[in-house]
Every structure is written in C-alpha cells, then in structure tokens.
A = this chain, B = another copy of it.
Amino acid sequence: MTSLQKAPGPSDLVEERSRGTFPVRNMTHFLDGSAKQTAIREKIMLQLERDPVWAVSDSHDLTLQQIRERSMAKVRRAAHFVANESMALFKLRMELISVVDPGTWTRIGVHYGLFFGALRGGATPEQFSYWAQKGAVTLNGMVGCFAMTEIGHGSNVAGLETTATYDEMSDEFVIHTPSLTATKWWIGGAAQTATHSVVFAQMIIKGKNYGVKNFIVQLRDTETFENLPGIVIGDIGAKMGRHGTDNGYIQFTHVRIPRSYMLMKHTKVNRRGEVKEPPLQQLTYGALIQGRVAMVVDSGAIAKKALTIAIRYAAIRRQFGASAGKPETKIIDYVIHQYRLMPLLAQAFAMHFTGIEVNRMYEELMDSMETLQPGDKGLGEVLEKLKEMHGTSAGLKAFSTWSTLNIIDQCRQACGGHGYSAYTGLASLYSDFAVHCTWEGDNTILSLQGGRYLIGCYREAKAGKKQAGGVAYLNNMDALLTKRCGAKSLADVSRLEVIEEAFWLVSAHVVKKAGEDFEAGVKKGLKEDESYEACSQARLLATKIHSIGYLFHRFKGALVRAPEDLKPILTRLCLLYGFYAIAENSGPFLQYGYFTPQQMDWIREAVTALCRDVRLDAIPLTDSFNYSDFMLNSPFGRADGDIYTAYFAAVQKAHKPGAVPSYFAKEIYPLLHRKLEEDDILELDEEDEE
C-alpha cells in the first residue's frame, strides 16, 4: 500500500501513551475502588467477551427480531448467574452489561429490578416465598414484568385508570381495563418475555376507591405462551432504542385473581374486604430511589464509553494544518477540539465519583430502613435521610442523564462524518441512553421535585433548623450571599476553594430566589401547590445549579482519598470541570456578583489552558477507564488505534462488495432505460382555426 501521506494509525497511540503523566493502572484501581475490584470487573468482561451469546460485533446489521431473540438468550444467561452469585457481584455484572448492551440490561432489569423489586418491597414474607417458589428468583417457571404506565397516564401514578375490584363472593379481585386510555402501555418484557406481571390498579372495595395498589397477574400460559383468557397483549412496535427490550401493551377484560395475589406488605385486605392501611407510608417509596441511583451510576459508565471512542479517534484522525509535506495535524491538537472533549472528560470523572458516593448513601439508607421498626428511636433521623436522598437523587438523576446524553452526542459530532456511521457505536448509544431522561421520573418533573426539596430546606434553614449533607451551605446564608471572589489574577482564581465557594454562593442565591418566589406566591393568596407551580422556572434553575455544584463537591471530596501519584491529574480534571461548569453557566455567577467580568475572562482562559494540559493525558485517561475493545464495540475506539483497517474490515464483512441491489430490475433499470415523455407528443392540426 503506497500512500501520499503518512497513514495515521497505531503508532500515534503508542506515542500518546508514552507521554502520560500518571500511572494508568493505579487510576483504574482507584476508579474501581481497589485492585481486587478491577480484577473482578475484568473477569466479568472476559466472561462476556468469550461467550458467543454475547457477541456484539455484528449488532448494527441485525433485524429487530434477531436482536430480540439474541437478547432473550442473554436473559437466560443472566438467570444462571443470579442463581449462583452474590447480589453485589450480580449488580456489578449488570453495570457492565449496560455498557455492552443497554437493551438487554433493561430486559433483565424489568424482571430483577422492577418486578422483583416490587415483590421485595410489597410482598409479605409468605407471599414472597410463594412467588419465589414459582420461579421469581431463578426464572424457572415465570418471568415478571411491571405494568404501571398506561397509554394515557405516566408520571401521575395516582391517576391510573385500571381497576381491581374486590368480589367478596368469590374472594377474588377483578382486574379490568375500563377504557382505551387505561391500556397498560410501554410495558417492558410484556410483548415477548413475561409470563406474569405486577399490575398497578385502583383498588375498589364495596364501591370505595382505595387508590393504586399492586397485584400479581399471570399473563400467559407457561407451556404455550398464549395469552390467558381475558388478557390481550400486543407489541407496541418500533421505538427509538433499546431494541432488545420488547415493550408491549396489555388490556384486561374482567380478569379474576385470588385476593392473596394483591401485595400486602403495606396495605392489607382481609376476607371481609376490610382494608388496613400501613402506618408508615413514606417507607414504601424507598424502592423508587434505586432506579435513580442506578441511572446516576450508569451515566458515568456510559459517558466513559462515549469519551473513550471520541478521544481515541481524535488522537488518530488528522485534518488540515501542519506545513506542506508533513502529515496533517491530529484533531485532538486543535484548541477547539480540546474544548469540545476535555471538559466532558472531566465531567465524566465528576459523575463517576458522584455515582460511587450516591450509591454508598443509598446502601446505608436501605440497611437502616430494612432493620427499622415503627416506634424505633432512630426513625426521625432515617426519615430525614430518606427525604434528603429522595430530593437529591431526583436532581442528580435528571442532570446526570441529561449530561451524559449531551456527552454522547458531542462525542458523536466530534467524530465528524464517521460519527454518523452505526459502526462508530455512538448513534445507538444515544438512542439507547435517551430514555433515561424520561423513564422512572421525567427529568423535568424530577428537577421540579428537587427544587421543591431545596425550597423546603431553605425555609427550614431560615427558620433556624440546621441543614446537613449536600444542602449545609444553606445554614449560614447571610454571611455567604455577600461573599466575593477576591482573586487578582488568573493564577489566583485557579483554586478549587474558589470554585467551591462560588457554587455554594450561587446555589444559595438561586435556591433563595426560588424560595422567595414561592413565599411571595403564598402571600399573594395562592395555594401551596399553585405557588410551587408559579415558581417552576426558578425551581428548575435552583436544582440545576445545586446539582452541578453537588457533582463538583463530590469530585473535590474524592481528591482527598486519592493516592498521591494521581492527585495532580485529578486536580486538573476537577478544576476543569468546575471552571467549565461556571463558564457554561456564567449568567448566575455574574448576576450574583461572585465573579467580576475580568475574573470571568480569566476563567475562560483557565479552561483553555486546562484543556491543553488534560489533553496531554487524554489517551492514558481513556485507558484508565479500562473498557476492553469488546466492551466498546467500535472500530474507532480500538485500543491499538488501527481504526481505518478495523472499520473497513467490519463494513466489508457485513456487505459483499459489488452486489447488485435486489430491486435493480424493478426500480432502477426502468428509470435508466425509459422513454422520455417529450418523445411522444400529439400535435393538433390547428391550421383551420387560424
């Protein structure tokens, strides 16, 4: 092969790696938690890679039904591991499965996260063991799905229309879909996987509606897979992504189930139709948070995948620049390309550390909740923590998933034309990931919930109640609000403490603004809900700034625990994340006067300089994420940098060169060989008329 130019490729990455300023393996261990954790992750990755069931290299050229069938085979494999490994290990396996195949992650998650979670959270011990015996743990005998959403009803669970009417005569509940809009919709696993379902329905007993409760309903015959009488299940058809998951709809027409199939850990119904409501309603919501935490963790994991692909490509791809005769310039060496990718790389680290922290908080909270009994001494404290977890995780879920969706698309665009190829993997990563912004709490609604929580904290703090955790900055607000950055130079401004204080101050201001708007509404005579509604925009901004700051603070917190040899690069990344976040949201930082216009110019300069610094370690940093080529499934992200050869080979393998399209005779030949209309003109002999 002769070439007019130096062909870019493997040697470029070798050179990049030789220039790294930190020990890559140590970074991997630090990110994973320990060398032992890294070893476990690598074991799972190798298992996935070698198992033909998980083969992904041809994933871009499969039909929907092929994807579904393969995905089902993966569900079977997952069931094997669930029965044979610890919960912690299975959680880690799932985290990695999400990186390789988000559609299958969801298909497995529908049973083990949603269905099984509902069972664990809602079943009495005897109910739980009944369903466990039927196969709810191991899938031998049943697979569950989670029928909450209806075609006309989503976020507002209380507004669902499906009914479960108690028939005292037979001691049964009658499950019914009363209208088109009540059709259970978007039910993952319903179309082609599940035999059973948790059904959310309005419980009606003796004409009284007790609100939405959960019922287990068998959907299909486990021998024939046919819909049971009274049940109609259909496929809801093509969707944006996660093609491995089979979403369906379900309509129930007077379907009878035993009373004991209602999940009764909390609300109980006896033989006479008497209802006993639970003493501690709040504790039933704990399970909701699990999904949010998982999505914060997933946001970091997926961002790292996207960035590995885009950054490795940027270090290989050459374009423009340099002098005649010399090879073109690597695109990663352009100021603007560094500005496109390096801050996002820093953001991925911030999300990674936040994910670890939030996961830890969640595990601790769950431990205390599971051992807790009504009347316990520590109850107040746990409820306080639950409130914080609920409010914080709402905002974090929203802004982490939005951030990662943005990162994926920025990475795709940064790959130029090749970013539009399915083989790059970023287009499907985007389509697969996008639903995180919507399900288990639409991001906008969650942000507003987060804002409501912050307003509550603000009002408590104002009333003298000390705030803890991520909102502690609301405690000494008066002193905080008037602080100013005193930095007199770029060097002076470039400190983590400056960024930290800036976020505390601006967060306090935007939360205060939201709180004041709310209080002004109430004073004007609005009801509480109306006043919250009126200050929605301020609530959204408060949650946004608070959440971005929260990520920064977690990143800064992680620095303290970092080994010495990693501190310099992690500090640069942390500074870059903080300054970039400030520069991108410069409005409030100027509006509340923490920074002067001059300081803001320095911050922009600092971002450029930090991008240049971080760029030097860009390839080692992607290496430290430790995703194997199999996990990345993208020729553009290959660790060896031989991207063009790999890409060309992949395309050639999937499509035979020189093929004549099947519709040539039908659609192309007649076009090329047609007789033009103007060749055949009927000319009237109109001379007589003249």
Contact = CB atoms under 8 A, between A and B. Distances in A.
B416 A180 contact: no
A258 interface: no
Contacts of A185: 417
A140 B536 contact: no
Given A319-B153, A442-B416, A671 B2 contact: no
A175 to B, nearest CB: 14
B672 A222 contact: yes
Stoichiometry, as copies per complex, reads 2
Interface in A242-280: 246, 249
Contacts of A586: 586-588, 590-591
A545 to B, nearest CB: 13
Interface in A288-325: 317-321
Nearest to A582: B587
A627 to B, nearest CB: 22
Contact of A671 (B69, B79, B421): B79
A610 interface: no
A658 B226 contact: yes
Interface residues on A, range: 35 or more
Contacts of A183: 648
A117 interface: no
Given A420-B438, A442-B416, A226 B72 contact: no
A540 to B, nearest CB: 6
Interface string A161-172: 101000000000
Given A149-B417, A664-B225, A4 B178 contact: yes
Interface stretch (A19-27, A58-66, A91-99, A495-503): A58-66
Given A328-B159, A662-B69, A671-B79, A593 B587 contact: no
A413 B438 contact: yes
A136 to B, nearest CB: 12
A238 B61 contact: yes
A336 B141 CA distance: 46
Interface in A415-470: 416-417, 419-423, 427, 431, 434-435, 437-439, 442-444, 448
Interface string A605-629: 0011000000000000000000000
B60 A180 contact: no
B195 A672 contact: yes
B661 A138 contact: no
A356 interface: no
A159 B327 CA distance: 10
A1 B180 contact: yes
Given A151-B647, A240-B422, A591-B586, A159 B413 contact: no
Interface stretch (A37-45, A228-236, A386-394, A558-566): A228-236
Q: Which 3 A-B pairs have the closest CB atoms?
A: A586-B587, A238-B422, A240-B427
Interface stretch (A368-376, A479-487, A568-576, A649-657): A649-657
A661 B180 contact: no
Contacts of A143: 671-672
Contacts of A182: 3-4
A186 interface: yes
A118 B106 CA distance: 48
Nearest to A71: B667
A233 B657 contact: yes
Contact of A421 (B236, B439, B590): B236
A1 B179 contact: yes
A537 interface: yes
Contacts of A652: 234
A491 interface: no
Nearest to A135: B672
Interface stretch (A10-18, A121-129, A359-367, A673-681): A673-681
Given A2-B179, A586-B591, A590-B591, A76 B658 contact: no
